Amino acid sequence: MKKKNILKGVLFVGIGASIYGMLATFVKMAYHDGFTTSEVTTSQFLLGLVGLLILNFIQTITSKQKLSSPSAKEVRMLLLAGTSLGCTSLFYYIAVQYINVSIAIVLLMQSVWFSVVVESIKEKKLPNARKVISVIIVLAGTILATNLVNMDIELDWHGVFWGLMAAASYTMTMFTSNTLATHLPVFRKSIIMLCGGAVVVMAFLFFAQIGPLYSEGLKSVYLNFTENTEHIHSFNYSIFWTYGFVLALFGTIIPPILFNIGFPNAGLGLGSIVSSLELPVSVTMAFVLLGEKVLLIQWVGIILILFAIVLMNLPSRSEVKSVEFS
């Protein structure tokens, strides 16, 4: 029975990671069709919130037992943690504007060694030798995967900066998701965190859409109101029925549900290894649907990063022995 649960966990985490890996490709396609970052993120979070509210309502009326409710303190903490969720999507999508999806996902995966640093600071002790070796391998793999060994490569520093910012934000999301209000039902916890992320996204929407008007001066806006009406309402609402549904489904609804079901069965270590499928899936989707060029040396770098993730999460001998004797 235990083996069946592990296999179930691996399957759910693997599917969730694969679906999440497709997300950036659809974002890039939305950009090609003229949509903006604010339109993409707004549609994803608003439709995702609606979807989770519907799922939570169905779970509430069909559940045979009373579901746990969060305390006021837990709501505040989850809302705050949710801001990192919003920042991750926002920073990642901005990065995709400047660099290829295959490069952006590699930068996002720097969260592997970012988490080692955060863990060391939190526990106030240096990481063990295996984690240090894994970090070195990740960095070496990153150099190859981004093709930095080619002196002629042109990497937009804006994309690199926002990609690393996304990795830092993603690291915080992982830590908070695994520690805060773990007793809550999946949908309820996800809704609260998504609300926190929506605050960040809506703030970005305001500054991206309305903010530029104020730079022209309130007087000029008033005098030319009729001429600027279409500028004020420049948000392209067609994003909701074109890419919005797919982005919400693949970004804020399906993967979190699958991860919350899969990780408890697979375990954090094995689950982390399986979730790294996001990297090759994302690169492959970008290659197939976007026609992005991925060199052999970049695939070697990706394999090195995957190897480092496996190495970092393999149980030690003492852990294996304790499992055997238990």
Rounded Cα gap, residues 171 and 120, in angstroms: 13
Looking at residue 225, its pLDDT comes to 44
Domain positions in the chain are 2-325
129: its two tokens = 């030798």
Residue ranges of alpha helices (H) inside 111-253 are 111-123, 129-145, 157-177, 186-205, 211-215, 218-223, 225-232, 239, 245-248
Looking at residue 11, its pLDDT comes to 86
Looking at residue 128, its pLDDT comes to 81
Predicted structure pTM score: 0.81
Q: Would you give per-residue pLDDT tens digits along the chain (326 residues)?
A: 444 477 787 888 888 888 888 888 999 999 999 998 889 999 999 999 999 899 888 888 887 777 778 888 888 888 888 898 889 889 999 999 998 888 888 888 888 788 888 878 877 888 888 888 888 888 888 888 877 766 555 678 888 999 999 989 888 877 776 667 767 777 888 888 889 888 999 888 887 766 554 444 444 444 444 444 444 447 788 999 999 999 999 888 888 778 777 776 776 566 677 777 888 888 888 888 888 888 888 888 889 888 888 887 776 655 545 444 44
Looking at residue 210, its pLDDT comes to 62
Looking at residue 119, its pLDDT comes to 76
Tell me the one-letter amino acid at 289.
Answer: L
Residue ranges of alpha helices (H) inside the chain are 2-21, 23-32, 37-62, 72-98, 101-108, 111-123, 129-145, 157-177, 186-205, 211-215, 218-223, 225-232, 239, 245-248, 254-266, 268-275, 278-289, 296-313, 317-325
Looking at residue 290, its pLDDT comes to 85
